Structure 1
Amino acid sequence: LTLIVSLVIMALTFTSAKLLGTEFLPQLNEGALWVTAQLPMSTSLESSVSTTNKMRHILGSFPEVKQTLSQVGRTNDGTDPKGFFNVQIQVDLYPKDDWKRNITQEELIAQMDKKLSQFPGIIFNYSQPIIDNVAEAVAGVPASMAVKIFGSDFKVLDHKADDVMRVLKKIQGVEDLGILRNLGQPEFRIELDQSKMALYGVTTADANAVIEMAIGGKAATTLYQGERKFDIRIRYQKDSRDTEEKIENLMVPTLNGSKIAIKEIAEITKLTGPAFIYRDNNQRYIAVKFSVRGRDLGSTIAEAQQKVNRAVKLDQGYSFTWNGEFENQIRASNTLANVVPICLLVIFLILFMTFGNMKDAILVILNVPFALIGGILALHITNTNFSISAGIGFIALFGVCIQNGVILISVFRKNLLEGVQIDQAILTGVISRVRPVVMTALMAAIGLMPAAISTGIGSETQKPLAIVVIGGLITSTILTLLLLPIIYKMVYNLIHKRENRKLLRKLGA
């Protein structure tokens, strides 16, 4: 009966493991926030500084905020080609124990975002200083997660990004949603008409030279000052090129010596062109960036991928990828899936060499599920997501529960070799080994208890490991002492019945 109940509990626990949330690593608390704001691309320096000061004033009004530090333009390392539209604000927070309001960091971010949303047309992203650098290096964009849509046509990319964003808006847990657009630079485009140029006798070189000299200036000679040299550029006076009409009326020389206005030989339009061209593996892309808060990463991305794949159809030559922390989670999960079987195989080989037979080695390996039960239940009880830290905790559990199994199996074998009857051998073995088995578990559990209940900065990564190990030790210790003797006796009786049948067959022959 005990064995049946335990097997039912084991089956239910393993089934409930599918309900656990998943993530790469728990979110660290660095004691500061990193707020990134992307203003319209044509924003001037003066406007950007003014808006930044207003945002800093709003952020500084929260009682949990100690101070703010802002930066406008490109980053300090100079690796990102950012314009004045890029604003980064570091928000230093008071220690959590000094907060006057009983709110979480996620709730604080939600309140900040609600107040900052009064600025129209600005895309915000909330992270932490160290995590932001790591996430940007992984995702390739200033966000923890991004959907990159690859293709050649900017307008198609822009349209598909809007479609993806509409889908992601409806998914619970998706925050800081925004599009890192390529388009956004106002352009005054002059496209020369070759047929009209031929009609009026205008060469392409003459037309380009006039446009270049009028708007950008043309280098006529070079000025040398010591080892330095400077181009001397000839350019039209500002009052001859400061309006669209004046540029349209620029006069271009023809082959017969007359002049004609540029508007007569070119199509002049105003449009919004690309301000930045983002590339990955030499392919153009547009990114839809977002963060995940208030929900586990694994289920959020799974739902997002399912709905985006169903709702957004891409033409031939276009594709999208999911980048960011989710990639790390997938890689780490695949690594764990390879490492765990190898660990169990190595343990089994060591046990086989120790005991000299497969029966005892397999019986010891059967202790592993006992530990998994407690680890999974501990994650459920503490509402902790399964992460790589928790996965390493499960691997650590293997060693402890295997050790307990070896202790019991060894004493059972010793008693049987001394001629003790099976029931008595098991009973005296369990009684004599309760203390070392329990002490081993208690030592590990007590040692990891501070890590499991700590709340300091950086404790988030070690808590899942400690929780899994402590929970697994509890069930592993109890079930090892209760179930392993029962299983050992069943296997012992089964083997001896087979041996007796073989002996009777031989005698009968």
Structure 2
Amino acid sequence: FPQLDEKNIAMHAMRIPSTSLTQSQDMQLKVEKAVARFPQVALVFSKTGTAEVAADPMPVNVSDNFIILKPESEWPDPKLPKDRLIADIQAAVNEVAGNNYEFTQPIQMRFNELLAGTRGDLAVKVFGEEFDTMLPAANQVATVLRSVQGAEDVKVEQVTGLPFLEIRIDKAEIARLGLSHFAVQDVIGAAIGGREAGVLFEGDRRFEIVVRLPDYVRDDLEALKNLPVPLPGAGAAGRMASVPLKQVASFSTAEGPNQISRENGKRRIVVTANVRGRDIAS
């Protein structure tokens, strides 16, 4: 089937899952500057992450770029094929480290999402129970797709790579101090996740009041390690009132799942590709 030329380009920019919003903004600005240098480009703008009205939810490490092109009559070479322009833009933005890209068209991208739930022209869904076996299979599918003529922007859905802070409670130490698992977990949960302290009513609306530590403490590993854990019977017969959290728990970082997608109750990883230079049905 012939592809409708929308005269504009949609570019999906993805970074590693641990990328913060500030880092994404800095990297995105470099990408936009690289695209804006092309004389065929009239305007480039982008959207990073999820807006307050979450009609199109995305993580902060992902940006949608919309590249508005000038009329072809204003191009230095009006006969330049659009596929060649996309290849030139891709070569330019590849100079910006830390990004992966997917090129399509704005309306085409939305139709793909509506029809198949993915933005790519072609999607292969890998189902299973464990990511440890699903991810290698998805990577094998991606390798096969890259060998197919016309398959471009092949990518595997980002399902891993999100950094986690693991806090493991020392059972022997809390037993020696007379603490329970719940007491230590309560300190960690209240400090990081917050604790409901009441309810605020405004007319017929109600809002939970959650109290937690400020961000500058929650983001400081050393400050978390020194959180006081109250001891039972504190103050009696000269007993210490509390001990630092690091005395009863160990801290480490590890990579975990970035997202867990499901379809019909099964875990799913999607491998997508766009098709250029050939008919998608042939």
| Common fold by TM > 0.5 | yes
Aligned counterpart for 2:196 among listed residues 214, 219, 242 = 219
The whole-number CA distance in structure 2 between the counterparts of 1:193 and 1:79 is: 44
Query: Counterpart of 2:265?
Result: 282
The whole-number CA distance in structure 1 between the counterparts of 2:192 and 2:72 is: 57
1:251–1:156 CA distance, 2 compared to 1 (3 A): farther
The whole-number CA distance in structure 1 between the counterparts of 2:51 and 2:248 is: 43
The whole-number CA distance in structure 1 between the counterparts of 2:243 and 2:156 is: 44
Specify the code of the residue in structure 2 equivalent to 1:124: Y
Larger radius of gyration: 1
Alignment of 1:229-378 (within 5 A): 229-236=206-213, 242-255=219-232, 257=234, 259-298=242-281
Query: Counterpart of 2:153?
Result: 176
Aligned counterpart for 2:61 among listed residues 85, 95, 110 = 85
Specify the code of the residue in structure 2 equivalent to 1:125: E
Specify the code of the residue in structure 1 equivalent to 2:271: V
The whole-number CA distance in structure 2 between the counterparts of 1:241 and 1:73 is: 22
Query: Counterpart of 2:184?
Result: 207
Deviation at 1:228, TM superposition (A): 5.4
1:105–1:278 CA distance, 2 compared to 1 (3 A): same
The whole-number CA distance in structure 2 between the counterparts of 1:75 and 1:32 is: 23
Query: Counterpart of 2:112?
Result: 135
Is the Cα contact below 8 Å between 1:64 and 1:99 reproduced in 2?
yes
Is the Cα contact below 8 Å between 1:36 and 1:125 reproduced in 2?
yes
Aligned counterpart for 2:134 among listed residues 149, 153, 157 = 157
SS class of match (2:23): helix
Deviations 1:28-67 (A, max 9, x none): 1111111111123233333323332322222222222222
Deviation at 1:271, TM superposition (A): 1.0
Q: Which runs of 5+ in 2 are unaligned?
A: 235-239
Deviation at 1:238, TM superposition (A): 6.5
Deviation at 1:213, TM superposition (A): 2.2
Q: Which runs of 5+ in 1 are unaligned?
A: 1-24, 300-509
Q: Does 1:27 align with 2:3?
A: yes
The whole-number CA distance in structure 2 between the counterparts of 1:276 and 1:191 is: 23
Q: Quick one: higher RCO (CA 8 Å, sep 6+), 1 or 2?
A: 2
Deviations 1:232-280 (A, max 9, x none): 4444467765532332343434556564544454453201222322222
Is the Cα contact below 8 Å between 1:254 and 1:260 reproduced in 2?
yes
Is the Cα contact below 8 Å between 1:158 and 1:181 reproduced in 2?
no
Deviations 1:387-439 (A, max 9, x none): xxxxxxxxxxxxxxxxxxxxxxxxxxxxxxxxxxxxxxxxxxxxxxxxxxxxx
SS class of match (1:166): helix
SS class of match (1:205): helix
Higher percent of residues as strand: 2
Q: TM-score, normalised by structure 1?
A: 0.48
Is the Cα contact below 8 Å between 2:40 and 2:69 reproduced in 1?
yes
The whole-number CA distance in structure 2 between the counterparts of 1:120 and 1:39 is: 10
Q: Percent identity?
A: 32
Deviation at 1:135, TM superposition (A): 1.0
The whole-number CA distance in structure 2 between the counterparts of 1:234 and 1:32 is: 47
The whole-number CA distance in structure 2 between the counterparts of 1:49 and 1:79 is: 21
1:106–1:220 CA distance, 2 compared to 1 (3 A): same
